Structure 1
Amino acid sequence: MPGLSKLCLLYLYCFNEYLKLVLAFTPTNTVWGHNAALVGSKIYYTGGVIPNGTIWKDVKDFGNTPNQYATQSKEFYYLDVSVPFKINEAITSWVDLSSVSIIPSHSWSAFSLCGSENSTLVMFGGDFGKTTPANLVFTYNAKTLQWSNPVTPGQPPNKHTRSVCDFKTGKMYMFSGTLNTVNASMDIFDTKSLAWGVGIYIGGVDSHGPIPLYNINDNTWSSMTTTGYLPTPRGHHSSVLTKDGRIIVYGGYIYRGTLVPVTDDLVVLDTEGSVFTWSKANVSTLSPPSRCYHSATMVDHYMIVAFGRNDLYLPSLTMNE
């Protein structure tokens, strides 16, 4: 695909030991459902689920962590991508900040760079195990190195979700999640005033249908019919936006009584035209195993994929499959 040659997948600490490195600080290499956000030249990571070696057979096994399947992480650290490193050599640019973090052990949270001077990380909600904090917003200023846990009036119900930020307005957008409801919501958090916007509730979305679009200027929904390749519906994948307007979607799974990896694990949505176009990426190098529960962070022309689960396998084909 034109332009895709500039897109590289850099794997850090893959589940099946792609890298075996001895570091001054070594992040937990099997963390799932963690958070990642880029501030300047540093990718900050926090939280996640650490499996205990038992294979999770059902998505319901995520519930009520910690349990017999996993514990939760309290780690907080960053990778300085301005320091050159190679995939097969020791990475010395990890920096551990766990001792200064005020966030309890957690996973599956909303986590974005979205605050004053584009230097503040904002985290909301997620799975905190048996004890959930009263105030679900945590902020970290990468310049002053200070954490805070502000009181935010109108706080919505806790849910496991992801988020994006509008840097012009300082508003953080969180859509849907794993609330026990048939509806989905758009929650808007103003990081400047620490105030919540009104939630907008909509019904379910057909994975094969048009792509829903949310206009942050007038807070309205619309839809876009796409052309080209039809990607496999998936869950717990990652997506990043390139500078030329392409959305790179990687990994994910299909639930068929167990977790099954998607066969088209790298697909691209071109948003530059009047009609969005899907395509399946043509990768010339040997692709690593597909994964889910990972993070992907765009740094210049590199998509840095970290951690996650890649021990999923396609079932044996039968005439009924």
Structure 2
Amino acid sequence: MVSYGLIIFCIITLSINSILCYVPEPRINHNSLIIHNRLLVFGGWKIDESANVSYSEMFYLDLTKPFDSKTKPWILVEGGYLPVYISLSTAIVSTLDYDIIYLIGGYRRNITTDKNDNSDLVYMYNYSTTRWTSQKVENATPRQAIMGVINNEGTIYMFGGSNSTTVYNDMQIFKVSTMDWSKLNIIYNLPLPCFAYTANILTNRIIVYIGGTDKEGQYLSMKTIRLFDTLKSEWAQMNVIGGDDITPRSYHSSVLTTDGYIILYGGLGLDETTDPKLAILDTNKEIYEWTIPALSGSSPHLYGHTANLYGNYMIVTFGYDGDISNMSSQIYLFDVSNYTWVTTFNPSPPITTEPTETNVTTKSALRIGLGVAGGVVLIILVSIGVIVFRRYGTKPHTPILKISGTK
């Protein structure tokens, strides 16, 4: 009797877990960001044996719950599919509305035709509705391999980048409050054109640009730090003297800690290697300084990955693993408080950046309500299965009960 009810229970449980336990494919040059205590990942592509494969789904990690990096507890966002295949773009959470994400630039291909498609260069994602919409923005310029940063007033800064024929060194800005796109008219101290760099905005409103590749295909020196003052709209260059030597690289990642340290990780360099894999730039000193910290644990040599800082954890996802010469689908966790690679994520109390918790509370209540309702429905279905088995399971020569949609 019980076994028949358990069969129904398992079928229902598996159908639910197919959504809650999503298994994403390996990828590089994707986007990841943190919104409402979730690490959201989307886009990217991988090299298949016969062709390049692109992705349009969105999935996330719940950063309010502990997890083991080996289990990869991804959850698929239902209805959150991208309107285009996209890679090497920049994605930014608005500082004016923490429900909104802007997706800008990148290589874009039409999902229906699989052709290059730059008809819409700016997309907006609404976290509450899980929907993407194209934004009609005049003067938007297609660029790839860029990284944007946003200030508290909602202005996104995007430097350089490339397209199929050209590498740039201009500064484009996008004001999300007015949807205005423009190029800053700057002629002094312009850095070299480059792409595949990293960018972090400090509390003093200066953007720090590290690494990248120039128009000749050369990796830029890590001893030359490019600085952009957003208050004055001026460029400056800092020659880092002293400290440890860091080899040039591109397609790396960097995160900024609350105490002014930029943690650099991975990247593609000469002979596809970089030394070291992880380094720290101290921006608190008058002349910034590189250091190579003593680390505990280990990590692979990645490039084309992403890294996000949440509490004490730098969370690294996907990328190309140079140690095995293949795409990665792994999660790597670096505890920035003691410079240790770990496998277990133990969250502190949820980090709140939103101006109000009303929407979050409402959504939590809704999820609880749906969870309770789902549990009740599950119990009813299992009970029906048990009753049916009791009624018909012991009768000889009775046809097996058939459920519509099954074989």
Bin the TM-score by the shorter chain: 0.7 to 0.9
Look up the match of 1:267: 279
SS in 2 for 1:117: coil
1:209 positional shift = 4.4
Question: What displacement does 1:171 show?
Answer: 1.1
Gaps of 5+ in 1: 1-21, 55-67, 315-321
The residue aligned with 2:171 is: 186
Q: Which has the higher contact order (CA 8 A, sep 6+)?
A: 1
Change (3 A) 1:127 1:25: farther
8 A contact 2:261–2:281 mirrored in 1 = yes
Letter in 1 for 2:41: Y
Q: Distance in 2 between matches of 1:158 and 1:243?
A: 30
Give the secondary structure class of the aligned counterpart of 2:183.
coil
**Are 1:182 and 1:203, in contact at CA under 8 Å, matched by a contact in 2?**
no
TM superposition score normalised by structure 2: 0.62
Q: 1:308 to 1:243 in 2, by over 3 A?
A: same
C-alpha distance in 2 between matches for 1:23 and 1:263: 40
* Seq. identity, %: 27
Contact 2:174 2:181 (C-alpha < 8 Å) held by counterparts = yes
Query: Among 134, 137, 142, which residue is 2:119 paired with?
Result: 134
Equivalent in the alignment of 1:295: 306
Alignment counterpart, residue 84 of structure 2, candidates 91, 96, 104: 104
Take 1:182 and 1:146, find their aligned partners in 2: how far apart are those partners?
Answer: 32
AA matched with 1:261: T
Question: How far apart are residue 312 of structure 1 and its match?
Answer: 4.7
1:155-201 superposed Cα distances (whole Å, 9 cap, x missing partner): 123333222111x1111111122233253222111111111122457
Matched, 1:113 2:124: no
Residue of structure 2 in register with 1:47 after alignment: 43
CA distance in 1, matches of 2:258, 2:221: 26
CA RMSD of aligned residues (A): 2.3
Does the 8 Å CA contact 2:143/2:162 hold for their aligned counterparts?
no
Task: Please give the per-residue CA displacement for 1:13-60, whole angstroms capped at 9, x wherever unaligned.
Answer: xxxxxxxxx9843342411110001113111111001221x4xxxxxx
CA apart distance, 1:313:
7.2
Report the counterpart of residue 169 of structure 1 in structure 2.
153
> How many residues are treated as equivalent by the alignment?
272
Distance 1:157 1:51 in 2: 23
Gaps of 5+ in 2: 1-17, 110-114, 194-219, 326-407
* Whole-angstrom distance in 1 between the partners of 2:223 and 2:72: 43
Change (3 A) 1:181 1:87: closer
Amino acid at match of 1:175: F
The answer to whether 1:247 aligns with 2:227 is no
d(CA) in 1 for partners of 2:144, 2:265:
23
User: What TM-score do the two structures reach when normalised by structure 1?
Assistant: 0.78
- 1:79: Cα distance to partner? 1.3
State the one-letter code of the partner of 2:313: Y
Cα deviation 1:94-120 (Å, max 9, x = unaligned): 321263334211111111112532221
Match of 1:76 in 2: 58
Q: Please identify, of 201-210 and 271-280, the stretch whose mean Cα deviation from structure 2 is larger.
A: 201-210
**Aligned position for 1:212:** 226
Structure (1 or 2) with the greater helix fraction: 2
Counterpart code for 1:225: N
Q: Quick one: structure 1 residues 244 and 102, their matched pair in 2 at CA, closer, same or farther if it must change by over 3 Å?
A: same
Alignment of 1:234 with 2:249, yes or no, is yes
**Which of 112, 129, 133 is residue 148 of structure 1 equivalent to?**
133
Q: Is the 8 A contact 1:175 1:186 kept in 2?
A: yes
Answering whether residue 285 of structure 2 is matched by residue 305 of structure 1, we say no
In structure 1, what residue type is equivalent to 2:47? P
> Is the 8 Å Cα contact of residues 261 and 291 (structure 1) preserved in structure 2?
no
- Select the structure of larger CA radius of gyration: 2
Write the distance in 2 (CA, Å) between the matches of 1:50 and 1:102.
Answer: 17
Cα distance in structure 1, aligned partners of 2:23 and 2:154: 30
Q: Decide which moves more: 193-202 or 263-272.
A: 193-202
Deviates more, 1:245-254 or 1:222-231: 222-231
